[in-house]
Amino acid sequence: MADYRIEDLAREGGTTVRNVRAYQDRGLLPRPRRAGRVSLYDGSHLARLRLIGQLLERGYSLVSIKELLDAWDNGRSLGGVLGLVAEVTGPWSDEEPGRMTRGELTAMFGGLSDPVVIAGAVQFGLLEPEDDTLTVFRVPSPRELAVCAELHAAGVPVHAVLDHLRALRADMERVAGLFMKLTETYLWQNYLKDSSLDEAPEMAELIRRLRPLAQRAVDSELARAMRRLATRQLGETLGRVLEAENAAESPVPDEPAAPAMERYPFMSDEWIAAVSRLSRLITPDPEKRTPHPAVVDIVVSDVPGRDDPAELHMDVFHGRVLVRPGLLPGPDLMIHMDYPTARSLLLENDRSLPREALIDGRMTARGDLFALTTFREAIASLSGWDLAGVLTELTAAEDADPAQAQ
């Protein structure tokens, strides 16, 4: 069984070292064993820590959680319920998450360090930044990341790999739904009819037995389908090669590249949320950093598909521009502008636009004029930052159907 130091346990459990110590002090988490001067935790601590997090997410207080865990530890029937919750919500794979530095990630993909691709991997969930230094990432599934690297090394563009994984995830959700419907109809309904929650441990055991069945079924069917389709594709490819030997092929236009990330309508809630998550990944060119800090609230009116104005704020500090949803109280600057002005300003990086928009009334600014200068510098420097490419990649075309952009 793996041993964890307190920092590793907190990271794997999705919490902080401070919380781990607090749970210990409250009796929620057993004390670690000592190895010399080092405290070591094991898998049972990690399972308990994840269960505490799940119960907190469901609205339980720490006092209630303590009572539930005590009941579980004392072998009362409620413990079976918690065991069932832990069994269902715990990992359904024996794969352990990993960690990777940005340098290791770049080397893994043959020197590729495209901020748009990294942002797409974070959006998809392949990578999780551990903090704002952006030098270390948590890798939820090292196997899946390794598959991406192998496909890239074989010649598949990373954006195409991510697009494939998005489609695969949607298909797997449907497969899992079919399997759960099958078990609910023929197993759960009959089991619950003859059982009580006092026998939840037996239900947890049933879950443990069912876990590998879905994996085996998917593996078998995927192998069958891959063999059948690969054979068909080989025949079609050989047929085209033979035809090409007898006739000159006409030039085929290149297909447009698939987007590296999911795209959303400009200034929609989904767009603002995505930009908020990804803006902290972007490190500006040191020679083009905006040196002055400022908080700028932005209100965009007349946004297609919205009944209310879009509200967001920009936090400019240490040369970085972070974008966040909502307005902050007491900003250095408050900006109001209409939708076309915002689109030209943020996506097209029109450097002359702020002054022109202020003069003709398409934009109004209230607050510190020095902050207005900082805002203009930040906007003007977007074209030299990686953030400009991420914003463009993230934004659906103006005439796109919002439903299709999701």
Q: How far apart are CA 88 and CA 79, in angstroms?
A: 14
Structure tokens at 23: 């749970």
Q: Is residue 374 predicted with pLDDT exceeding 80?
A: no
pLDDT digits (tens, 9 = 90+) for 338-356: 999 888 887 776 667 777 8
pLDDT band, residue 204 (cuts 50/70/90): low
Residue type, 144: E
Sequence-separated (6 or more) residues with CB below 8 Å from residue 376: 354, 355
Burial label for 39, CB within 10 Å (0-12, 13-18, 19+), is middle
pLDDT digits (tens, 9 = 90+) for 264-319: 899 999 888 888 877 666 555 444 455 567 788 999 999 998 989 999 988 876 56
Q: Is 402 helix (H, G, I), strand (E, B) or coil?
A: helix
Q: How would you label 294-312 residue by residue, b for 16+ Cβ within 10 Å and e otherwise?
A: bbbbbbbeebeeeeebbeb
pLDDT of 261: 65
**Arithmetic mean of pLDDT, 14-23:** 88
pLDDT of 50: 87
Burial label for 281, CB within 10 Å (0-12, 13-18, 19+), is buried
Highest mean predicted confidence (pLDDT) among 121-125, 269-273, 384-388: 269-273
β-strands 333-338, 294-301: how paired? parallel
> Which residue, among 234, 377, 236, 383, has the nearest Cα to 296 in the 3D structure?
377
pLDDT digits (tens, 9 = 90+) for 134-148: 678 889 889 899 998
pLDDT of 337: 92
Q: Is 330 helix (H, G, I), strand (E, B) or coil?
A: coil
Average pLDDT over the chain, rounded to an integer: 76
Highest mean predicted confidence (pLDDT) among 22-36, 279-293, 389-403: 22-36
pLDDT exceeding 70 applies to what percent of the chain?
67
Length of the chain, please? 406
Q: Is residue 372 predicted with pLDDT exceeding 70?
A: yes
354 vs 203, higher pLDDT: 354
Sequence-separated (6 or more) residues with CB below 8 Å from residue 390: 115, 116, 119, 261, 275, 278, 279, 281, 282
pTM recorded for the entire structure = 0.45
pLDDT digits (tens, 9 = 90+) for 69-120: 776 666 555 555 555 565 555 566 677 888 988 888 888 888 776 777 777 7
pLDDT of 38: 86
- Give CA separation, 235 vs 56, 222, 238, 239, in Å: 55, 20, 5, 6
pLDDT of 322: 77
